[in-house]
Structure 1
Amino acid sequence: MPNTATIKDWETVNRVVLPVKDQNLTLPLYVTNWQPTRLNDTVLNSHLDAKTVDFQSMNRTAFRRIASQAVGSAAQGASAAVHGEILRRRAIAVAPQSQLSFCTFFNAFPAAYWRRWTRVDQVRFRGEFTGTGTVTIVKSTGRGLYTPVTRIPLTGDGKLPQTVEAVIPLTNLIDGGYLWFDVSNDSADSTLVVDAVEWQVPLSDKQFIASGKPKSTLSIAITTFNRPSYCLNLLRDIAADATLRERLDTIYCVDQGNDHVSDQQGYAEVAGDLGTQLTYLRQRNLGGSGGYSRGMLESVDAGRSDFVLLHDDDAITEPEAVLRALQFADYTVRPTLVGGGMFHLDNRTVLYTQGERLDPHSVWMKSSLGLEYNHDFAANPLRESPERHQRIDADYNGWWMCLIPVSVIRRIGLSLPVFIKFDDTEYCIRAKEHGFPTVCLPGVAVWHQAWHDKDPARTWEEYFFQRNRWIFALLHCPAPTRRMMFEMLYGDCNAGLRFLYSAIRLRHKGLEDILRGPDYIVSSMPGKLAEVRQERSRFEDSKTSRDLEDFPEPASEFVSPSSRPVPGRRLVHSGGTAILRELCGRTDSRKVTRPDVAIPAKDAFWKSFVGIDSALVTTPDGDAVSWLKRDDRRFRRGIREGLHLSWRFLKAFPRLSRQYREYDLAGFAVWRRIFSED
């Protein structure tokens, strides 16, 4: 143990918390039953993962054994009831003769991140325990291996709490690692109460010193559009957390809809509770970038807050996560954007991502370290997921939740005026280019609607995805590449193979608008959504109906290609063949009287459309159906126009890049002009 005699003051930066509602949906993210280690041999020898599996040398018995072990492990992780009772937000009673582990997403201390991004080299564990048993503090490494740091016996009488403290050095954590505690109750008939557990760091290591106030403070910027009940619930959750409100200046609630939050039943009560900690603003719909930029600009102009937290209106927050992000930012060596993970709103233990990178060649996002998206902590707890113990660095964080220092905003500006899509990615990359990193901090997250119920190609959003992706390239890529043209044409072909000719048109419109220059992008922003919707409405694939009786019965039953998987190379060949078939075809199914099949939303990818001329396709939200029809002539025309536009874009890339970079799209003056027209 290090000598802590010179450390007089410690600051709590992580409080162990527990869910007081929705416990049946989220508990594995907070606490689990302790169980023996079940790590595979690749944790000890990572070279094993460099070899592919030879299934041909595996007999049926060996395969069944592996499958049964995997199913058994998942079932045990997902179904085990926790041997304890939550007493309140920070207290749990451990059942007699039971052991609990706090090696969980929300309660394991992200030691490797503190080691990497701050000057902190030791932390203090502190908690109150009433009963008899043992507290074991555990540390893991980037490999996912873990060992006990110290074991502390609990010898209380069961009436008065025993204070437990331990100081742990942050060593051997360069590649990754967590700290957490396990607790065992030795009593045969009494519970053991765990209360007020927290992780503390030396106050002297704090890097950000607030001017004229004892601690740094933040404002929260929420942009909302016709989701008043979600937004009101978010305001209510923030208002209920006294610890968070001690650090809160105000919430800028930017309402851009016509179904207003302020008209909701219960708003007056929440607003009265928050008082000056709520600043309610209305403006025309300028998208997420306009709503967040308004909150950022208001924070800068007010001059009170040290940080701004961007928070989506339909996300469910964990208030402790907001505090953790703020306090981590206090200690980082450089001004740092602190983001969090995104859990699925409809499957609350599934983490969509804990960090993403931007591939500069494809100008598209990918998971950091090649980790899988959608990790389920109920089936695969953190304790048994060694790959999740690596330090996961990121290029950017989605704006479902992201804390930004006001000093960074003053330095690099606001969001791009692009309505939605790629604004969060671009901002973090811009910050990185100025020396301000983004950290996606474990233990910080929100619950947000997942992407599996969305398909931008079937909505007006496709325009903004396409346009803003290549605006990003002009701002941050040094030169045009052949891969860029491939990506543009790939997107066109993908949409065309699915009979989504409106998507092809919106993609082309995005490139056309880029070629008109940055001044047009800014001046057209307020009315662009209506224009894009009008353009899309001209296409039959934009029409939907909730009543299946509006359509003829499909001629055949649909069988998903997923039931007939093929090797990757064969899939690529199949895609190329399908493209050639449409380019050379003469089919026009606009006047067919009956769809061939009905395709569920989950199967609405290109391979499902091979060999058919029309299909009823369920919308991504499962609430309506479109009748999509093949039109080979329109497909050929779309590909030809796409080739021409992508060639024009790449040829003009140097000139356009210079224009867009010199325009200062995200500058304060640009946004003040936009807001002044409201």
Structure 2
Amino acid sequence: MQIQRMELPQGGESAREKLYIRCLKGAYQIADQSIQIGENTLIRFDTYFNACPIEKWLLYTTIPDLSFHARMRGSGILRLYGVSGLPDGGCEKKLLSARRIESDDEQNVELELWNKTEGTQMRGVFYAEIETGEDGQCVISECTYDTSAAPLREISLTVAICTYRREKYLERNLKLIKEQLWENRTSVLCHKIRVVVADNGRTLGEERCEPWLKICPNKNAGGAAGFARGMLETMREGHATHVLLMDDDVEVKPSALEKTYTLLSLLKEEHTDRMVGGAMLRSDYTFVQQESGGSYQNGKIRSLHRGLDLREAENIWCNEKDERADYNAWWYCCIPISVIREKGFPLPVFLHCDDVEYGLRSGREPIRMNGICVWHDAFEQKRPSVNEYYDVRNALIVNGLYVTGYSSRQAFAMVIRRTLVNLFRYRYRDIRLVTRAVEDYLRGPQWLMDVDAEQLHGELMRAGYRYSETFCGKLPDRAHTQLADILAGRSNSSNIDKKKLLSLNGWFLPARRGKPVPVMAGESPHCYYRKKKVWIYDPDTQLGFYTGKEVRQLFILLGEWLRLGFRLKKEYAAVQSAYRSAFPEMTSMEFWNQYLREKGE
């Protein structure tokens, strides 16, 4: 049984070629899924897509052995290595097997890497390398890692995609699934995959439904409702064992779904209730990982293995190190149907924190593995105003459910932090949205279940800032420093220099007058220090809005703090208890069936 096959870069992937293959000397060419290796060349596959994470396969599955297969011709040496990390941060590298190839005819090469009878517990990852001499050339194709194990269970996989008027991205992914998986006779998912699309924009129609595809016009109640609809439809059909939640605008490799399917079929019994999570790689710097699972620590979200440059060999085995993850984001998250039956459906929170809450509810760490990933736009430079509302309201709900002893005092401290950061960034409308988030949270769970989520979202969008204006001057070129900041882990977060914090980031000091200064939406509050006027913009669209320092807003904020602090102290405990009591109803199939009905149905 094949558990992994060689991946090669396709057209347009030059920036991320080192995610597939690493050339230490010499030259090579890729043609027809083969690698033509020139004279005096050394290439390695210790890469994100082609290193085999043996430690994870042995931890989660029942494979009794592992071998490497390839088709080769020409002259060269094939070597197989194992590499694992050491406590001091270094790595241990071991030669596992080697074979010299001298043949003008193509031959099948098989090298045994590990066998359970040997009693050796393998760690880290395996990878292959090929080296040619001064007069040698070589062609290699169809490299695979194989095991003699047979699948333990039959897997039926349904991909549930939530979309809202993103036809271009959706069509791309539907075409990929159809042509490279459903219709591909060489794929393990040939006629073994189904797609359910929750069409929140109601623009696709139902006439396109095919044997592998079902399009469901859906109430626009956010991503949570779209994924809940995908779960509902999957369970109604009754044949799927797993539902894979996936965003509509991601770029995904067919191999990610194939590896997920193979992994699920081989899982040990004690791991069959685990989700399988896909990492997010950035779509701007396509070799940089944004997140591989996340942790939730006392109400704060932390992205794991963030900012790793996956072109670097040492980061490949570092990325396989287990670091406790509480959830995996729903840009790619495969959930067993048995878990949905036991744990229920998402909370009706529209967007943000629905995936965090569900991961905490499941209580099991998601399985993550190199090569199971998507590419997606990074979020830090977007900062739409509406997110402030959902981030605060939903965090209050989740913290009250899962953070032991979470009190009104802690809730108020969170609100102060969020409003201060918005004050530092001159985003006064966002402060009002934070206030509304607290007020709506205090309305309780019945209000959340009854509110017209689509109408509410429209009101919130109108209340926030719109990136709609252009800038007259010249925008700064941040490309050369932005990547360095990402790789160094310098975050555009709310961290403020202590000296600047003493002056409330310049609010107690006179502002420097001058023309409006352009600031990217996700930049640190440092960039606003003592600025009189700014133009906040999205670097992708280069549209933004003008704002600036208004001293009266500080006094308005102080009044809001007094009011919200009083309300939280008075009402928080009772509301928190109400959410806990209503939780079983809010996450039930009966609730979601009723919630997703349109008016008049």
* TM-score with structure 2 setting the length: 0.86
Q: Which amino acid letter does the alignment assign opposite residue 175 of structure 2?
A: R
Please report how far the alpha carbon of residue 136 of structure 1 lies from its aligned counterpart in structure 2 after TM superposition. 1.4
Find out whether 1:365 has 2:301 as its counterpart. yes
Q: 1:123 to 1:650 in 2, by over 3 A?
A: farther
The 8 Å contact of residues 17 and 30 in structure 1, kept in 2 or not, is answered as yes
Aligned to 2:383: 455
Aligned to 1:303: 238
Counterpart selection for 1:669 from 579, 584, 590: 590
The C-alpha deviation readout for 1:360-385, integer Å capped at 9, x for no partner, is 2xx121133xx4x222233xx22466
For residues 442 and 647 of structure 1, do their structure 2 counterparts lie closer, same or farther at Cα, with a shift above 3 Å needed?
farther
Residues 150 and 569 (structure 1 numbering): CA distance in 2 closer, same or farther, change over 3 Å? closer
Deviation at 1:387, TM superposition (A): 3.6
Q: Distance in 2 between matches of 1:569 and 1:339?
A: 29
Counterpart of 1:528 (choices 448, 456, 463) is 456
Mapping 1:255-334, distance limit 5 Å = 255-257=199-201, 260-261=203-204, 275-332=210-267, 333-334=270-271
Deviations 1:119-177 (A, max 9, x none): 44542322222233222111112325232342332334221322313141588878x61
Is the CA contact 2:344–2:588 (under 8 Å) kept in the aligned structure 1? yes
Which amino acid is the alignment partner of residue 364 of structure 1?
A: K
Deviations 1:581-616 (A, max 9, x none): 74x79x9x9xx9x96431231674322223233223
CA 1:149–1:633 in structure 2 vs 1: closer, same or farther (change >3 Å)? same
Give 1:13's aligned residue.
3
Alignment of 1:60-459 (within 5 A): 83-89=27-33, 91-120=34-63, 122-143=65-86, 145-169=91-115, 177-186=124-133, 188-190=135-137, 192-203=138-149, 209-210=153-154, 216-241=155-180, 242=184, 243=187, 245-246=189-190, 248-257=192-201, 260-261=203-204, 275-332=210-267, 333-334=270-271, 335-360=273-298, 363-368=299-304, 371=305, 373-378=306-311, 381-383=312-314, 387-432=318-363, 436-456=364-384, 459=385
Give 1:31 shift: 0.9
Write the distance in 2 (CA, Å) between the matches of 1:528 and 1:139: 55
Q: Which moved more, 1:665-674 or 1:476-485?
A: 476-485
Runs of 4+ in 1 over 6 A off after TM superposition: 170-174
What is the count of residue pairs matched by the alignment?
Answer: 569
- Whether contact under 8 Å (1:110, 1:179) holds in the other structure is yes
Alignment match of 1:496 (pick from 399, 411, 423): 423
Structure 1 SS opposite 2:596: helix
Distance 1:573 1:643, change over 3 A: farther
| 1:637 equivalent in structure 2 | 556
Is 2:404 the partner of 1:475? no
Change (3 A) 1:247 1:431: farther
CA contact (8 A) 1:136 1:148 kept: no
Secondary structure at the counterpart of residue 442 of structure 1: coil
| TM-fit CA distance, 1:483 | 4.6
Deviation at 1:674, TM superposition (A): 1.2
Match of 1:514 among 441, 452, 455: 441
Asked if the contact 2:382/2:522 (under 8 Å) is kept, the reply is no
Q: Is the 8 A contact 2:424 2:525 kept in 1?
A: yes
Cα deviations by residue, 1:11-57 (Å, 9 ceiling, x for unpaired): 2121222133323133111111147xxxxxxxxxxxxxxxxxxxxxx
SS of aligned partner of 2:341: helix
Q: After TM superposition, give the deviation of residue 570 of structure 1 in Å.
A: 8.4
C-alpha RMSD of the superposition: 3.2
Q: Counterpart of 1:46?
A: none
For structure 2, the 5+ residue unaligned runs are 483-489
Letter aligned with residue 96 of structure 1: E
Cα distance, 1:320 vs structure 2:
0.3
Tell me, yes or no, if the aligned pair for 2:219 and 2:596 is still in contact at 8 Å.
no
Is the alpha carbon distance of 1:468 and 1:603 closer, same or farther for their aligned partners in structure 2, counting shifts above 3 Å? closer
2:469 equivalent in structure 1? 546
For the structure 1 residues 202 and 519, does the alpha-carbon distance in structure 2 shift closer, same or farther, using more than 3 Å as the test?
Answer: farther
C-alpha displacement of 1:653:
4.2
| Counterparts of 1:155 and 1:148, CA distance in 2 | 21
Q: Secondary structure at the match of 1:438?
A: coil
Give the unaligned 5+ runs of structure 1. Answer: 1-10, 36-81, 211-215, 537-541
Residues 18, 386 of structure 1: CA spacing in aligned structure 2 closer, same or farther, 3 A cutoff? closer
* Amino acid corresponding to residue 527 of structure 2 in structure 1: S
Change (3 A) 1:152 1:247: farther
8 Å Cα contact 1:29-1:104 kept in structure 2: yes
More moved, 485-494 vs 99-108: 485-494
CA distance in 2, matches of 1:120, 1:643: 61
- What is the identity, as a one-letter code, of the residue corresponding to 1:233? R
C-alpha spacing 1:527/1:357, structure 2 compared with 1 (3 Å)? same
Instruction: Supply the AA of the counterpart residue of 1:323.
Output: E
Contact kept, 8 Å, 1:415 with 1:423, in 2: the verdict is: yes
Mapped partners of 2:252, 2:379: distance in 1: 18
**1:244–1:322: 8 Å Cα contact kept in structure 2?**
no
More helix by share: 1
Aligned partners of 1:382 and 1:388 also within 8 Å: no
TM-score scaled by length of structure 1: 0.77
C-alpha deviation, 1:256, in angstroms? 1.7
